Amino acid sequence: METLTNTLSVTPHLQDYEKTCADFRWEQVYEELDGLPEKKGLNIAHEAVDRHASLDRTAFRWLGKKGEVRDLTYDALRKQSNRFANVLQKLEVGKQDRVFLLTGRILELYIAALGTWKNTSVFCPLFSAFGPEPIRQRLTKGDAKVLVTTERLFHRKIIGLLDHLPSLQYVILVDAEEHLNTRVVSWPLLMKEASDEFTIPPTDPEDMAILHFTSGTTGMPKGAIHAHQAVLTHYITGKYVLDLHPEDIYWCTADPGWVTGTSYGIIAPLTHGVTSIIDEADFDTERWYNTLEQQQVSVWYTAPTAVRMLMRSDTEPKNQHQLNHLRLIHSVGEPLNPEAISWAQKVLGMPIYDNWWQSETGGIMISNFASVPIKPGSMGRPLPGIEAAVVEQVDDQNVKVLPPGEIGDLALKPGWPSMFRGYLHEEERYNKCFVDGWYITGDLAKQDEDGYFWFVGRADDIIKTSGHMVGPFEVESALMEHPAVAEAAVIGIPDTMIGELVKAYVALKPGIEPNEELALDIKGLARKKLGSAVAPKEIEFSEDMPRTRSGKIMRRLLKARELGLPEGDTSTLEKNT
């Protein structure tokens, strides 16, 4: 098995993986944080901002779509988040009340998140690309008391919902100069009137802090509950996985409407006192490379979809951009194909470190680490303090742990600080996630003899063909080794003879035209790599894969469309396709 290592310019925090895992205790992480003054508990905003307020350092550098640049120091962020906490107090928004955010990547979103935590209210991010119905579903299910949004989004998506949202007491418009009425009010006016001094009230580590909605294959989205104690996971993964040091310039490209944009776009970097880049604009190859160069980004956290889009461009970053400050690249969202890691090593001069986690886990659980060799295509190894295994569910109450090499359910031992504490209003659904002392993630994986985990697929994505269990990721990775293929998605189609037929949707690199000869050539490569039983029998060229805003290709949606089945919850689609 090929392994890759990085030439490290900074000594990593995690140097001896085995020893760190053996000695690790979550209680020790508390000692690296402050806790609230006078032992009044643990609050995310205090650990992220207030304890760094004396630093003469930029917390956020915001890059506007039109070239604007705004810096917010840690002290300024403390004062602004204090103001918003006081705004919530004035509006009689209290502990556990839900504050929803529906904006693009603007500074007000980040200020509101921190002010919400200071007030011991619950931060609930939404994608600004959501349509009115998914917004209504989440506001209703989440018992929204406050919604922070923009005038444009309010008039386009919210105003028609107000009569159907009785629990929603206030809509705060970040760019309205005047209050529209007693219910729809102006952020600038409220913030101007508010004091920039605020004392965080006592906060129990188990107090609800974040509500992330995550889509299922059918029905309504689920609201995953996270507590203030989650900050321990955010902090330690920022230290051991992202390897953040005080001098770093850090850029997480994820929108806070997605869990990564909250855990690693807001909380983790702030707990380490680093400077974070926020880019308001959507993906653009040249803009991204310019940002990496001009902002001297040293640690970059992005998604496989973005990496594949960069791979499809004609830009030669090492020749056209000065990227010598960049020392570490991480990726999350879906498995990173080995081809992408090889591309990064060649084109960017360093590998990309893949990692795995979910909205439910709240933070990174399995990762490749800067000081540990990478096995391209692997999720990596568990974070210190995390016990992971591949299990087989024997019945409703029992599982057995499988030996290396066998495929089964990826499972985690409960107890890590950012583990979700429930699905809001769905206790039974939550309880079904736990069997025999394990959290069953819904992902299938295998573990090798060295302790590395390998993603096989979602349990409902697995293809059963001619007696074989085929993981889509394995087939997609093989297809991407073809020089014409930029991206691939694989599903199973019912077949009376073999159970399911493997079908691949393939996006080609720029300038390459699809034709039958090319399809045969791609199939031939797949058969050579995988064998005829596993290789795709059908290939369909497609330039427009349905994907979530976090970048995941929605295989279940491809399958539903192929078979004419109901599409289920499509509210997190990147586009209304």
Name the nearest CA neighbour of 223 among 189, 196, 252, 259: 259
> In whole angstroms, what is the distance from residue 465 CA to residue 100 CA?
45
Alpha-carbon gap, residue 74 to 421, rounded angstroms: 30
Q: Do 389 and 514 share a structural domain?
A: no
Return the percentage of the chain with pLDDT > 70, whole number. Answer: 94
CB neighbour list of residue 234: distance below 8 Å, 6 or more residues apart: 263, 264, 267, 268, 271, 362, 363, 418
Does the residue 575 lie in any domain? no
The pLDDT of residue 133 is 81
User: pLDDT band at residue 313, thresholds of 50, 70 and 90?
Assistant: confident
- Are the C-beta atoms of residues 99 and 138 closer than 8 Å to each other? no
**pLDDT at position 577:** 33
pLDDT (0 to 100) of residue 498: 76
Question: Which secondary structure element, helix H or strand E, spans residue 269, and what is its range?
Answer: helix 268-271
Residue 458 has pLDDT above 80, yes or no: no
CA distance 223 to 442: 17
The one-letter amino acid at 65: K
Q: Are 244 and 299 in contact (CB under 8 A)?
A: yes
pLDDT of residue 6: 61
Is residue 547 domain-shared with residue 440, that is, in the same domain?
no
Residues 371 and 482 in one domain: no
Same-domain status, 40 and 124:
yes
> How many CB atoms are located within 10 Å of the residue 242 CB?
27
Question: Is 283 found in the same domain as 254?
Answer: yes
Amino acid at 47: E
Which are the contacts of 544, defined by CB distance < 8 A and separation ≥ 6?
577
Q: Which residue has the higher pLDDT, 474 or 302?
A: 302
User: Nearest to residue 492, comparing CAs of 458, 463, 535, 523?
Assistant: 463
Q: What is the pTM of this model?
A: 0.85
* Cα torsion angle, 560, 565, 567, 568, sign: negative
Average pLDDT value for the chain: 91
In a domain, 151, yes or no: yes
What is the pLDDT at residue 4?
56
Return the CATH number at 477.
Answer: 3.30.300.30
Q: Where are the beta strands (DSSP E) in 29-127?
A: 58-63, 69-73, 98-102, 122-126
Determine how β-strand 328-331 pairs with β-strand 184-186: unpaired
Q: Based on the domain organization, do 426 and 540 belong to the same domain? A: no
What total of structural domains would you count in the chain? 2
Residue range 399-430, pLDDT digits in tens = 999 999 999 999 999 999 999 999 999 999 99
| Look-up of token digits 């294959």 | 217
pLDDT band at 392 (very low <50, low <70, confident <90, very high): very high
Q: By the 8 A CB rule, do 302 and 500 touch?
A: no
Domain check: are 87 and 152 in the same one?
yes
pLDDT digits (tens, 9 = 90+) for 93-106: 999 999 999 999 99
Span of 10-24, 158-172, 554-568 with lowest mean pLDDT: 554-568
d(CA 29, CA 20): 13
- How many residues belong to the chain? 577
Among the three residues 425, 447, 469, which one is the final residue of a domain in this structure?
Answer: 447
Express each pLDDT in 176-212 by its tens digit: 999 999 999 999 999 999 999 999 999 999 999 999 9
Domain final residue pick, 401, 425, 447: 447
In a domain, 5, yes or no: no
Per the model's pLDDT, the better-predicted residue between 546 and 431 turns out to be 431
Which residue, 422, 447, 472, sits at the end of a domain?
Answer: 447
Within this chain, do residues 441 and 465 fall inside the same structural domain, yes or no? no
How far is residue 295 from each of residues 29, 250, 290, 299, 539, measured CA to CA in Å?
Answer: 31, 9, 8, 11, 42
Q: Which pLDDT band holds residue 572 (cuts at 50, 70, 90)?
A: low
Residue 98 is assigned to a structural domain of this protein: yes
pLDDT of residue 559: 82
Q: Region 262-290: what's the mean pLDDT?
A: 97
Domain identity same for 474 and 435: no
pLDDT of 32 > 80? The answer is yes
Domain of residue 408, residue span: 17-447
Does residue 2 belong to any structural domain of this protein? no
Ramachandran bin of 467, using left for φ above 0, alpha for ψ from -120 to 50, beta for the remaining angles:
left
pLDDT value for 554:
82
Same domain, 211 and 255: yes
- Residue 463: pLDDT over 90: no
**Would you say residue 266 lies in a domain?**
yes
Domain annotation covers residue 117: yes
CATH assignment of the domain containing 306 = 3.40.50.12780
**pLDDT value at residue 573:** 55
- Distance, CA of 335 to CA of 109 (rounded, Å): 29
Residues 103 and 188 in one domain: yes
Same domain, 422 and 534: no
Give the pair of three-digit tokens for residue 327: 């020392």
pLDDT of residue 576 exceeding 50, the answer is no
**Does residue 9 lie within any of the structural domains?**
no
* Residue 127 pLDDT greater than 70, yes or no: yes
Least confident of 118-132, 257-271, 286-300, 455-469: 455-469
